[in-house]
Structure 1
Amino acid sequence: MMKWIPVALALTLSACGSGPKTAYYQLPTVTPSTAVSSSTLARPLWVERVTVPDYLAGSGVVYQSNDVQYVIATNNQWASPLDQQLQQTLVSNLSATLPQVLISSTPLGQQHDTLKVDVSGFHGRYDGHAVVSGEWVLEHNGELFKQPFVIALPQKDDGYDALVRTLAAGWQQVADQVANAMIANGK
């Protein structure tokens, strides 16, 4: 019986010594404030790509700890690549806002508009804000419409859960900007 005490003690200590568990995050789809309906918005939209810089392309959620330093979390990670999540969520958010428009992440035949989004910031910040920044380009009937965006929303709570929810709300604002531009330009 005494032979097993060291083994049991070693197993107990190794179980206690394991590091923090890794949490995985998926962007939620935020319900738009209003859906827009218009018979003039019938042309399909291809969300061609959403690009992110290298520091956001990894699996860790990013937090800016001061004016020059960024920390990439090791235990708080994206469940799937961030660029894919951003594209899928953008398609979903735009589809909810513009229900009469066919919006897809794949090409839709010969006649479609194209949206490209370059994200430069998608992270938490030391002052308690979530930052969503970059620019989007909408191609409609051979014309290009380009719009930068910089959104800094205050987090309501502390922690990564609240950060991801706030980032999703900022991403919904980008979808709203795109939808409004499509309507204004007579998509």
Structure 2
Amino acid sequence: MKKWLVVMMSVWLTACSSGGESKSYYQLPIAQGGVQSTANQGNRLLWVEQVSVPDYLAGNGVVYQTSDVKYVIANSNLWASPLDQQLRNTLVASLNTQLPGWVVASQPLGSTQDTLNVTVTGFHGRYDGKVIVSGEWLLNHQGQLIKRPFHIEATQQQDGYDEMVKVLATAWSQEAASIAQEIKRLP
């Protein structure tokens, strides 16, 4: 009787574990930088109010473009947390690192803050081995509006979702550096 129970349990466990393809979850790496002091009242303030993504990027699945008109949303390769949140968190961390003298946050900081909104229209891999990071950002600096489009194409050196997510993260970091350079030029 015990042998039969052990056999049934092993059959059941095998069936449960092979019930489908396992899922992989991806998180964009956050830039590591020095800790900034917020004690200085002379700090300039920047609120990253929103990073928005279109519906096709807002789901859980990592997106891959299979032709010039077709996109596939993965069922087994998923974002560990919503993509818009990941993009916003990594942008805030990156800008904090690259903008000394600024306090950059994902929540309102006061009445004299600058405000940054980013609309991401492309954040996906493509059939030709490239990744696409595109969109536009709008900065409200002391009532002056500055709007810039961006479009980055970067090449994957290896196949696979791990590599695609790493290259996407690098391209996003590159755009964050571009935004930081623009902000550094402000009066």
TM range (shorter): 0.7 to 0.9
Q: Give the aligned partner of residue 25 of structure 1.
A: 26
Which amino acid in the other structure matches residue 101 of structure 1? W
Which 4+ stretches in 1 moved above 3 angstroms? 1-6
Give the structure 2 partner of residue 143 of structure 1: 144
SS at match of 2:102: coil
Aligned to 1:129: 130
1:115 matched to 2:113: no
**Residue 88 of structure 1 aligns to a residue in which SS?**
helix
How many residue pairs end up in the alignment?
178
Cα offset, 1:42, TM superposition: 3.7
Aligned-pair Cα RMSD in Å: 2.0
**Residue number in structure 1 paired with 2:169:** 168
Tell me, which stretches of 5 or more residues in structure 2 are unaligned?
Answer: 34-41
Inter-CA distance 31–4: structure 2 relative to 1 (3 Å threshold): closer
Between stretches 70-79 and 15-24, larger displacement belongs to: 15-24
List aligned pairs for 1:29-178, cutoff 5 A. Answer: 29-30=30-31, 42-178=43-179
Q: Partners of 1:144 and 1:167 in 2: how far apart? A: 28
Give me the identity figure in percent. Answer: 50
Cα shift at 1:13? 4.9
Partner of 2:39: none
TM-score, normalised to structure 1, is 0.88
Q: Deviations over 1:2-46 (max 9, x none)?
A: 7558735742651463212111111012469xxxxxxxx942000
Partners of 2:43 and 2:143 lie apart in 1 by 16
Q: CA deviation at 1:119?
A: 0.3
Q: Distance in 2 between matches of 1:79 and 1:96?
A: 24
Structure 1: any 5+ residue segments left out of the alignment?
33-40
Contact 2:30 2:89 in 1 (8 A): no
Structure 1 residue 122 displacement after superposition: 0.3
- Give the TM-score normalised by structure 2: 0.88
| Structure with larger RCO (C-alpha < 8 A, sep 6+) | 1
Shift of 1:157: 1.6
Paired residue for 1:38?
Answer: none
Aligned to 2:15: 14
Matches of 1:104 and 1:12, distance apart in 2? 47
Rounded to whole Å, the distance in 2 between the matches of 1:124 and 1:23 is 16
* 1:130-187 alpha-carbon deviations (Å, 9 max, x no partner): 110000001101100000000010012211111111111111111111111112232x
